A and B are shown apart, each in its own frame.
Chain A
C-alpha cells in the first residue's frame, strides 16, 4: 500500500502544507477518462492547466501529499514565464521571484567573463527569474485546484500500466490500497526516475558525466546582487567548479563539485558541508558570517533522452522524457515547452479537431529540441566538469589563457536554455511567404513580444487556440469567411488586427501599433501581412499578403502535419 508521508517536509523558510489523499472509496465509479497525467510537478501541472484551457478535462495524479522537497529548479527563463503567463501563474512568480540577467565567471580571483543576457523593452519578462520550486508548485497547485476541468489527486501513485489499442489501464496505489483507472491518453510527467518509463521498459539515449555536484541551500544575508557566480578551480576545491545563485528570502544556492573519488554520502556529511561552505564564503569575502542549512542533495550531469516521446497511449514530458544538465537551466525550462507543445495537440485530438497522427509532430519537435539542447549542454558540461584527461587539459589551458587572452573568454558562456525553433516541423506551411521575410520570427520560431502600452504586451493577448495576427487596418473578407468555416468545425481561432486599435469587422481584438514596434519586431513592411501562430504561439505560417486559400492550407497543415 502506498503510504506517502503525512509529515510536512522540513524547511527553514517554506511552510509545507499536507493535502488530503484522494481515495477511490470516497468517490463514485470511474469513467474512462480522456487524459490522465501522472506526476504533479511543475511540468505536469502546466500540462494540465494548458489542456484545460483547450477545454479538455484531466485527472492529475501526484504520489506525494505535498510539494517538492527543497528548492530544486530555481531559475526560470523568459520563455518559461511566457508559458506560465499562459496558464495564469506568471504574476505570482514575478511578485515573489528575483529577476536577473548577468552572470560572472571567476578564476584566480579575477572576473574573467561577464555574461549579459539581452533585455529588450518589448519584453514583459526578464531573461531569468529565480524562485524556489516549492513556491512555483504552490502557485500551480492553487490554479489546478480551482479549475473545474482538473482533478488533482494527492497521494496517488502509478504502479502498473497496460496499453491497449485505444486506451490504457493504469494501476494506481493510494493510502487505502490500489484502484484502476482507464484513460484514452496517459501523460507521463513523473520525473527523472519515471516509474512509467521503467514500467514500459524504455531506454534513454545519450551520455552521463562522472562529475558530481553538491547542491546546498543556505540562508545567509549577503549584500550581493542577483547574478550568477561561477568559480573555477578555487583554492579550497582545486580543479573543480563552484556555482552560486541568489534565491528569494535570503536563501543562496551553493553548488560545488565533489573531489574525485568522494562518495555522495561523504560529501553530505554535516562537517564536510560546513567546512566547504565556510571556505566558499571566505573566498567571496564573507567568511565568518552566520548561515543556516536548509536542504542539500547530490547531482550529476546527464544528457539523455528517449528516442520517441510517444509509446502507444503514453506520452512523455519533462524529466520523464529527458535528463538534461542543470548548467544552463535546462531541466524545468525544457519541460514547460514540452507541456505546452503536447497539451494543445492533445486538446485538438480529444475535442475531435485532429487525429492522433498529430502526435508524431510532438515527438519530432521535442526530441529534436532535446538533442539540440544535449549538444549545447554537452559543451557547457564538458567545460564545467571535464569528462576526460584531454577535456581537462583544454579546460585548464583556457582558464589559464583567460587571465590575459580575451579570445578564449566566451568559452565560459553557459549557453542558457532558449526556446527551440521548430524550423523543420511538419506543421509549418509549405506554401507561405516564410522565405520572403527579412526579419521577424520565422516558421517554427517562438513569438516575439511587443510592448503595446506601459503594461500591456502582445503576448498578453495570445494563446488558448490558434492566433491569426493580421497587420493593417482591416481583415480581408475572404479571410473572414475562412476563419468562420474553421470555427464552425470547432477550431479555436482568434483574429488579432494589429494597426490602429478600436474595432474592425472580423477582428476579435484590434491592437494599436502607433510606434510601429510590432511591425518592426515581426519584420512587417506593408499592410496585409499576417502570421499564423499555433496554440503554443510558435509560428506555423507567415505571409506578405494573406489570402483565404493559403490560410486554409496553413490551418490544414498545422492540424494534420500533412500538406493539403
Chain B
C-alpha cells in the first residue's frame, strides 16, 4: 500500500486526467453515482475488502 507498488508519476497523471474528464462527461447529477460504481469496480479488482476498508478510512481524512 505504498508508492513502490502504485502508479508511476506519469500513470497517476493519466488516471487524474481520465477521472476528471469522466466526471465532467457524466455531468453533475450523475457524477456521484459514477464514482460509486467506479469504487465498486475498483474494490472488485483489488479483491481485498480489508485493503478497501483502509482506503475508505484514508479517503475520509481531511475532508
Give the shortest distance, in Å, between B34 (CB) and chain A (any CB). 9
Chain B residues closer than 8 Å to A396, beta-carbon distance: 33, 36
- Taking CB as reference atom, which chain A residue is nearest B37? A397
Q: Is B12 an interface residue (CB 8 A)?
A: no
**Are B37 and A400 in contact, with the CB atoms below 8 A?**
yes
Chain B residues closer than 8 Å to A407, beta-carbon distance: 44
Give the shortest distance, in Å, between B4 (CB) and chain A (any CB). 28
Interface residues of B, dominant DSSP = helix
Q: Is A405 an interface residue (CB 8 A)?
A: yes
Q: Is B41 an interface residue (CB 8 A)?
A: yes
Within 8 A of B (CB), among A391-425: 393-394, 396-398, 400-401, 405, 407-408
Q: Is B32 an interface residue (CB 8 A)?
A: yes
**Are B44 and A397 in contact, with the CB atoms below 8 A?**
no
Category for how many chain B residues contact A: under 10
- Taking CB as reference atom, which chain B residue is nearest A398? B40
Chain A residues closer than 8 Å to B33, beta-carbon distance: 393, 396-397, 400
Within 8 A of A (CB), among B11-63: 32-33, 36-37, 39-41, 44
Complex partner residue of A394 from B36, B41, B44, CB under 8 angstroms: B36
- Taking CB as reference atom, which chain A residue is nearest B38? A397
Category for how many chain A residues contact B: 10 to 19
Complex CA distance for A407 and B32, rounded to whole angstroms: 21
Give the shortest distance, in Å, between A114 (CB) and chain B (any CB). 21
| Centre residue among A394, A396, A397 by max chain B CB count within 10 A | A397
Complex CA distance for A398 and B36, rounded to whole angstroms: 9
**Are A408 and B40 in contact, with the CB atoms below 8 A?**
yes
Within 8 A of B (CB), among A361-413: 393-394, 396-398, 400-401, 405, 407-408
Chain A residues closer than 8 Å to B40, beta-carbon distance: 394, 397-398, 401, 408
Chain A residues closer than 8 Å to B37, beta-carbon distance: 397, 400-401
Complex CA distance for A400 and B39, rounded to whole angstroms: 13
Complex CA distance for A405 and B41, rounded to whole angstroms: 9
Within 8 A of B (CB), among A493-530: none
Chain A residues closer than 8 Å to B36, beta-carbon distance: 393-394, 396-397
Chain A residues closer than 8 Å to B44, beta-carbon distance: 405, 407
Give the shortest distance, in Å, between B59 (CB) and chain A (any CB). 14
Within 8 A of B (CB), among A64-91: none
Give the shortest distance, in Å, between A486 (CB) and chain B (any CB). 50
Chain B residues closer than 8 Å to A400, beta-carbon distance: 33, 37
Complex CA distance for A121 and B29, rounded to whole angstroms: 52
Give the shortest distance, in Å, between B35 (CB) and chain A (any CB). 9
- Taking CB as reference atom, which chain A residue is nearest B43? A407
- Taking CB as reference atom, which chain B residue is nearest A389? B32
Give the shortest distance, in Å, between B10 (CB) and chain A (any CB). 28
Complex CA distance for A71 and B59, rounded to whole angstroms: 49
Give the shortest distance, in Å, between A12 (CB) and chain B (any CB). 43
Chain A residues closer than 8 Å to B41, beta-carbon distance: 401, 405
Complex CA distance for A394 and B43, rounded to whole angstroms: 13
Residue-wise interface mask of A (430-453) relative to B, using a CB-CB cutoff of 8 A (1 in contact, 0 not): 000000000000000000000000
Q: Sample 5 A-B pairs with CB under 8 A, ordered by A number.
A: A393-B33, A394-B40, A396-B33, A397-B36, A400-B37
**A residues touching B (Cβ–Cβ < 8 Å)?**
393-394, 396-398, 400-401, 405, 407-408
A398-B40, A400-B37, A401-B37 known, 15 other contacts, Cβ within 8 Å: A393-B32, A393-B33, A393-B36, A394-B40, A396-B33, A396-B36, A397-B33, A397-B36, A397-B37, A397-B39, A397-B40, A401-B40, A405-B44, A407-B44, A408-B40
Query: Nearest 5 CB-CB pairs, A to B?
Result: A397-B36, A397-B37, A393-B36, A407-B44, A401-B37
